[in-house]
Structure 1
């Protein structure tokens, strides 16, 4: 009867060890997946977008400098056809709600700027629209910093959780190992006592 009970206990301990390793593995995979997604998002949706913002900022700044140095000849204002493509690529990235609103405002302001440039409209109005565009770009840049920081913190939390799980796994495996050893020694001790009783 004692042997059956010890076997059940041994089986229970081995099953617990197996389930612990399996659960820990699943959680670690989930945390690593979170870190991987965070790194990909930081690159694809933040660093690349920051490059878009930087390029757009330079293009619109050229227009501002042109207006500052030219009272006339608005038809010679520098044009950058790839602005439209950049705005399309920007819209195809993973956008937050705030980011979508700021980007939509930027696109509307750019459309208004194009109309004024095509009609060679009032210089002050063009400057006003360029100021609005500059504010849009500043707001979008601020979103990149905020989102990048959040993604980094999320990745750090996942890595910290992985470390904690690894430590707990080692602790539990040590406890399970000790319990297993206790059961084995108890079995040997019981067997030894039976032999002594039989000899006597």
Structure 2
């Protein structure tokens, strides 16, 4: 009957080894999923947050420079170069806005971005109005300039909101990455503990098998 015990314990050992293989395979699949999620998270941080923040910085610089050009023109009365200078700045702003619009926007970000693009259009309309008032009375020019200054403040405010969103989204993506890594570490420790436990059980089965076999009396050798 010793072969019966041998087969019985071998079957149990095989089942335990099968469990180990299934667990290892499942863990590898989860690790692959985690790596993919981390890759997407890091790509989002770079493409949709770091690059966008650089766009926002450049947009802020162009807006400030446009304001300074108008201020200088207003106080010096020299407006010959202003149309071309504003045109160049607006072209640079349009390029950045188009690049920004191709990134992935959150719902809140999309709302502020839409408001910002409307601000840009409104500002350009006021700039054209200011240029058209070059030969008008000082009071008219001052009124248009004040409208332009107010629009500039509104535009900068929306741009600041967009910058705030980049920081918040960057933090969220960073927290998600930490959670993925923490979850992967927990699964790794669990897998290790389970494999060790199953290894001990297999060893116990092997020893039990040997013990059961040794209990059966051996047939005497025939002379």
Q: TM-score, normalised by structure 1?
A: 0.93
Unaligned stretches of 5+ residues in structure 2: 134-143
Greater Rg by CA: 2
Count residues in correspondence: 198
The structure 2 residue matched to 1:88, chosen from 69, 76, 98, is 98
Matched, 1:128 2:150: yes
Matched, 1:118 2:128: yes
Q: Which residue of 2 aligns with 1:170?
A: 192
* 3-state SS of 2:115 partner: helix
Within 2, Cα distance between the matches of 1:132 and 1:192?
91
* 3-state SS of 1:119 partner: helix
Q: Which residue of 1 aligns with 2:54?
A: 51
Q: TM-score, normalised by structure 2?
A: 0.83
8 Å CA contact 1:74–1:117 kept in 2: the answer is no
The structure 1 residue matched to 2:162, chosen from 127, 140, 154, is 140
Within 1, Cα distance between the matches of 2:192 and 2:168?
37
* 3-state SS of 1:198 partner: coil
Q: Which residue of 2 aligns with 1:180?
A: 202
8 Å CA contact 1:52–1:86 kept in 2: the answer is yes
Unaligned stretches of 5+ residues in structure 1: none
